[in-house]
Amino acid sequence: MLLKLLFLLLLSTAAIAAGKVIFVKGEFSGLKLDAKTKSATLLKAGDKILPGRSYYTQDLSHAVVKLPDGAWLRIGSDTKFELQKEKDHFVLYLRTGTLRVMFAQNLQKGKTKSLVVRTEDAWIETAGAKFTMTYMPIFEHTSIYVDKGLVQVSPVNDRVSKVPTSVHGGEYSEFVKSEGIPREAKDMSEKQLLMLKTLLFAQLKKTDD
């Protein structure tokens, strides 16, 4: 009986440690993945982000979530994701939409070694970067722009065998499932960078990082 109580306590603690909502504009909702009834709960600042749930924003809505290790996630409009805690890192499944990871360099001083963001097809890992990514499932297309730091991009199915594509600050890369491997990271001209930021950040509220 005592062991069972300790086990339940550990599960409860893990759930509490998944993340916290810092800011919401519009509608940001959570839904249990194994729920018998698909009744979503509207979230507000101060609410917890729990594993085993799907989170999504509505049109013209966005939210900011903070992870326990110091990383901040800015969730764009019409975006859906799930967050899971692995042994020594978080895995954020971006199902569709736009996500910006801020201050992930704090991960080096935190409790986890890295933050992993994955889509259905691409695996993005960083131990210290600030970047924006989008995923369009209908086109099986993942795009990523790195402001600062370094991220590694790999195809999910060949993550072990393939050498990941490194994307540094100021570079941009894409992964299209039909191509098999991420495109080579490229430096952006000032004009290209302005156009890219306009596209990538269109769903995100402009704030000072």
Most confident range (mean pLDDT) of 57-61, 65-69, 83-87, 182-186 is 57-61
Q: Which residues contact 196 (CB under 8 A, 6 or more apart)?
A: 145, 172, 188
Region 68-92 average pLDDT? 84
Is 55 within a domain?
Answer: no
Amino acid 156: pLDDT:
87
Q: Is the pLDDT of residue 43 over 60?
A: yes
HEC sequence for the chain: CHHHHHHHHHHHHHHHCCCEEEEEECCEEEEECCCCCCCCEECCCCCECCCCEEEEECCCCEEEEECCCCCEEEECCCCEEEEEECCCEEEEEEEEEEEEEECHHHHHHCCCCEEEEECCCEEEEECCEEEEEEEECCCCEEEEEEEEEEEEEEECCCCCCCCCEEEECCEEEEEEHHHCCCCCCEECCHHHHHHHHHHHCCCCCCCCC
Q: Is the pLDDT of residue 66 over 80?
A: yes
Amino acid 202: pLDDT:
56
Is 165 within a domain?
Answer: yes
CATH of the domain at 193: 2.60.120.1440
Q: Please tell me the distance from the alpha carbon of residue 171 to that of residue 146, in angstroms, as a whole number.
A: 6
Is 207 within a domain?
Answer: no
Is 138 within a domain?
Answer: yes
Q: Please tell me the distance from the alpha carbon of residue 52 to that of residue 162, in angstroms, as a whole number.
A: 30
Mean confidence (pLDDT) of the chain: 79
Amino acid 126: pLDDT:
86
Are the beta carbons of 25 and 42 closer than 8 angstroms?
no
| Residue, of 172 and 199, whose pLDDT is higher | 172
Q: What is the value of pTM for the model shown?
A: 0.80
Looking at 51-55, 102-106, 155-159, which range is the least confident one?
Answer: 102-106
**Structural domain count, the chain:** 1
Q: Is the pLDDT of residue 29 over 60?
A: yes
Region 51-64 average pLDDT? 90
β-pairing, 114-118 vs 89-102, is parallel
- Structure tokens that stand for 135 in this block: 């995923």
Is 149 within a domain?
Answer: yes
Q: Is the pLDDT of residue 110 over 80?
A: no
Range of the domain at 149: 75-200
